[in-house]
Structure 1
Amino acid sequence: MKRFDEIKDLLLSLEADFQKFYEKENQAAGTRVRKGMQELKNLAQDIRVEVQEKKNTKHEA
């Protein structure tokens, strides 16, 4: 569940920048949102790989 908590924390940390970008059209906040979303994408991919490896290991045993 640690990985899930990492995703939640990352999303919550981006909330203010989402508001600044979409409501106030702050371009710098948009850059931070894009960076954060890239981190989220990478984290999600890492989790996908981890889950698949765990599934494969149990399937082989």
Structure 2
Amino acid sequence: MKRFEQLKELVDGLEADFAKFYDKENSAAGTRVRKGMQELKNLAQEIRIEVQDIKNKA
């Protein structure tokens, strides 16, 4: 469950930058969004591998 909490915190942390980028067209916020989304992708992949490993052990 710790990984899921990390995932939620990352998404919640990006909310302000999403608003700044889409509502105020702040390009620096867009860069932060892109970086955060890459981290999200990497974390999601790690979780997928972890889940698969646990599933295969059962």
Structure 1: runs of 5 or more not aligned: none
Structure 2 residue aligned with 1:52: 52
Structure with larger Rg: 1
SS in 2 for 1:35: helix
Structure 2: runs of 5 or more not aligned: none
Structure 1 residue aligned with 2:19: 19
Letter in 1 for 2:41: K
Letter in 1 for 2:49: V
Structure 1 residue aligned with 2:6: 6
Instruction: Provide TM-score, normalisation by structure 1.
Output: 0.93
Instruction: Provide TM-score, normalisation by structure 2.
Output: 0.98
CA root-mean-square deviation:
0.4
How far 1:20 sits from its partner (Å)?
0.3
Aligned partners of 2:3 and 2:53: how far apart in 1? Answer: 15
SS in 2 for 1:44: helix
Q: Quick one: percent identity of the two aligned structures?
A: 72
Aligned partners of 1:55 and 1:21: how far apart in 2? Answer: 39
